[in-house]
Structure formats: C-alpha cells, structure tokens
Chain A
C-alpha cells in the first residue's frame, strides 16, 4: 500500500526507518562481558554494564570495525573522527541513567540502499547516518503481577542504529527496505539479522500528505517493531489512523507509539511522553574515536561480494532476469547453492527455476533452511543433468526430487531403481498411441476437426506410460497419426 484513497483526496504514505542492528561480536561494546543469547539472567553482566561507581568503559575494537564494515557495505561515508555522547533518560533496564550513543558526530554518514522492486526494477533509498550505541537490558512484565523483572545480560551489547531518509513510500517498500538491510548485514557478517531474538528491530516513522504535496506531514514514531510483516502492518495501520484524523479536520500530534499486532492498532506510549528531553552531551569517559584511513581501506578491501553486485553478475553470467536474480541473491547461502548447481550447466536458467520453485518450495514445507537441505547442491545438479540429457522428463524429475528428499539417495540411483528412464523409443511409444487411437474412434474424429483436442491423447499416452514417454516424441507421432 503506497497511498490511501480518502474522502478528501489521495494520501501518500511517507516512511523513514531506524533499524537497530545488534553487532556480531563476542564481547560487549564497552565491557568484556559475553553477548551470547539465552544465558541465565544477569550472568553476562560486568560491573561496567551494571553501572557500578568508578567503572570506566573501554571500547571493543571489533565493534568499531563492524560499524565501519557496515558503512562501507552501504556505500556510505566513514567519518574518521566520531564522538560518543550520553543520552540521558531513566528506565529500569538502563542502569547508568544514560545510554552511550553518538549524536552530533556519528561514525558513518550518508549512504545508499537499493531496493529490488517486485517488478525487477530498483529504487534508491538514502541512508542518513549509522551510529554505534549500547543496547539496554530486558524488562519482563509477566513474572509477577506487581513487579517488573530486569535482566541486564543485553545491557551494553553493541547496536548499530541505521537511519534512513524519509524516502520510503508505503508499506511494501518499508518491508523491502528491512529485507534488503537484513540481507546486506548478513552478507557482511556484521549482524545475524535474527528478528525473533531481537537482533534486528526497527523504529518506524510514518507521516502522510496529499499526493503531490512536497512538504512532509507531522510524523509519529512506532517503536521496536520486530518482524518484517509487522513493519508493513504498522505502516498501514498508522497511516490509516492519521488519514482519519486529518480528514476529520484534526491535526497529527508528534508522538512515540507502540504497535499492537494482536489488536492491529498503534497507541501512544505513556512512558515516553516526558522522555524526549535527552540532554545529550559528549561522554567525558570516552575520547573521540579516531580512525586510520589505511585501516578503513583494509576493511574495504576485505568486503565480500554484496547482493547488488552478485545480482548484476547473475544477470550477466547466467542470463537470469532481474526478479530471479534478486530472489537468489537475497540470502548468501541460497546464492552459493544456486551457483554450485548452475556452474558449467548448459542452461543456468533451469538451475534458477529448480532452486527458486522446486527446491525452495519443498524446503519451506519442511521448515528447513538451504544450509540443512537434505538435497545438497551437487545432488540437485545430478537431477538436472538427467533432465538435460533427456533421461527423464521435467515432470518425472519432480517426483524424483520428492524421493531424494525422502531417501537422501542420488537421482541416478532412484531413476535406475524405479525404472523411470524416459521412453524415447519411437516404436514403444507408437504402440501405446496406436492402442489409444484404436480404443477411442470418437476422440480421433473430434481431434481431426479441432486440433486443440489432440492434447487429450498426449495426456493418455503419458498416463499409460507412467509419465515416462518423451513428450516431444509423443507430439511428433500424434501429429503424424492424426494427419493420416
């Protein structure tokens, strides 16, 4: 949904996203405590994270490197000098009473993220900045009716906040943006992108304006949206709410809101009403972060091939269309799997079809990822070899793939075992066809008048041969017989 048709006109939905991505590192941003997920409460907390008096933060070089790597992956400007600030607010999961963040001078400046639109086109979304900051602890509200429980294991883990320009239009683009961001972060290895565990979450800024207006409307920020589907829903629900208010003659109040997926609504967050006075100032415990340009260049040289470059290569090297290429490169492992299957193949598009449709469909049904596919890339390649050399038809190959999933055997072995080799012997097919023609004189007469009906005979031959007759041979023979 890009626009909303209201009673007074058509409203354009404008979105800006702040993605919070947990940095992949073993230790926290400013302490030596572990970042591993799922440990016993408060067991991965140093006295620095607990904000004990006299403790001093010391920055983790790996987290800095990951931020720079991400910035480079987003074609962004890396700032050789950045500054850590204190963002002051009180909340039980924030023991310092402030979050160490970056305000005026972030580590990464402007960049670009390219969206792959469903029709194969692309659209560029501006990145405003990326900065490093600490995550807060976790509040648990359902362990006791009168108390909130606090676990500080996550407190102090490094986050990258990546802020987009309000260039995103509508809910689909918002979803595509998060999808693409996640894909790039996973290629770079700077964030695992696991939204269920909260490694990637988004604050969604939504405003609406009449189509054609150039000024932005007043926005509301929806905090902590934790799935791509929720991002899309939150945008739609919030945009509808704003249009309703505006069309009733009201005004939008700039607010921090919360998305309730169960009720399908957003509502104002009471706790944040007063919290906007953050009184940022440079953290006196930390000197400015200065980066050596040679070191930045080294990181740049070590970047992997990223989705956009890989997509262009797949289109060029394998002759794929933009849609298929975009699907295949979205996940690094899918792309690697496809390349193993496609390499040295006469028809790489066949490989693309089978990976995107047949393999992905079956994996999805079994709730498996490509890296634990029961059919490895080499085995799928073996199956496609049999299609390409006409040993089996594409239809039989689908059954064979099912058997490969079930048994873990190779295509060769299964085809041999079940006697599925395609019948290309003209005599054998002719015998089957002659029998069917003899049994169905009415159909023959009909088919001679209306050639379209001839397809019925092909179906009968396939049925009689257990799907093994080569369809090209059947068609050829049938045309000859009907012309007699």
Chain B
C-alpha cells in the first residue's frame, strides 16, 4: 500500500526535474541521493528498467482525474491521535543495541565536520 501511494507523487517531480528518458547520469544521481551504491556497469540496464516503470506509471495519466479528489486511504477513518503523555523511552541500551560503535550512551559516526 505504502509504495503504491507514494509513487504517483514522486513521479511528477522526477518528470519535471529530469529528462524524460532516464540517462546514466540521472540514475547515478538518484542512487546517490538514496545512498545506494550502483556499479557503473549496471547503470545502463537500470536506466532501462526505471524507464519502463515510469512508462507504466505514465499510463495512469490517460485517465481524466480532474474532478476526483486524491484518495488518501482505503478505509474511512481519521488520523489517529495520541494524548500528550510520556509512555515510552528510558531504554538507551535497546536503542543502541544495533549501533556498531556506541560510546558512553551515544551513537558515533565518522566525523561530520561543518
């Protein structure tokens, strides 16, 4: 569900920002923004695959939706709310359990200098 809902909103931005047919550079840029390492040799084929997906989504534009409000959920419900009460936290050891290099209660990462 999540994937289906977010794709149409991504598409217009990619369409306006990027050339219609995806080239290698664009694929590389998308990969870098997503922090996915893609070997140079795979860029070409990936561009073709992504192009196909975009083309498939493009078909949705054939339907006239001018008078249709965007569907945000398949169930009739309001956004659930929570009261302002502290009910969670207090377990730094659980939060840090998967951190490869935690120190004195902190996550640590290679130096990020500004």
Contacts and interface: CB of A to CB of B under 8 A. Distances in A.
Contacts of A47: 88, 94-95
A150 B110 CA distance: 11
B65 interface: no
Interface string A58-74: 11111110000000000
A42 B92 contact: yes
A149 B107 contact: yes
B5 A147 contact: no
Given A43-B90, A282-B5, A290 B107 contact: no
Interface in B61-82: 72-73, 77-82
Contact of B108 (A25, A26, A149, A281): A149
B35 interface: yes
Given A58-B82, A287-B77, A288-B79, A150 B107 contact: yes
Contacts of A149: 103-104, 106-108
A147 B105 contact: no
A152 B106 CA distance: 8
Contact of B90 (A44, A258, A285): A44
A26 B94 CA distance: 22
Contacts of A43: 89-90, 92, 105
A25 B109 contact: no
Nearest to A144: B108
Given A34-B89, A62-B84, A63-B84, 6 more contacts: A27-B82, A46-B88, A60-B84, A147-B101, A149-B106, A282-B5
13 contacts: A27-B88, A41-B92, A42-B92, A43-B105, A45-B89, A60-B82, A60-B84, A141-B113, A148-B108, A149-B108, A152-B107, A281-B13, A284-B6
Interface of B: 1-2, 5-6, 9-10, 13, 17, 32-33, 35, 72-73, 77-90, 92, 94-96, 101, 103-114
Interface of A: 25-27, 31-34, 40-50, 58-64, 88, 90-92, 97, 139-141, 143-152, 258, 269-271, 274, 277, 279-282, 284-290
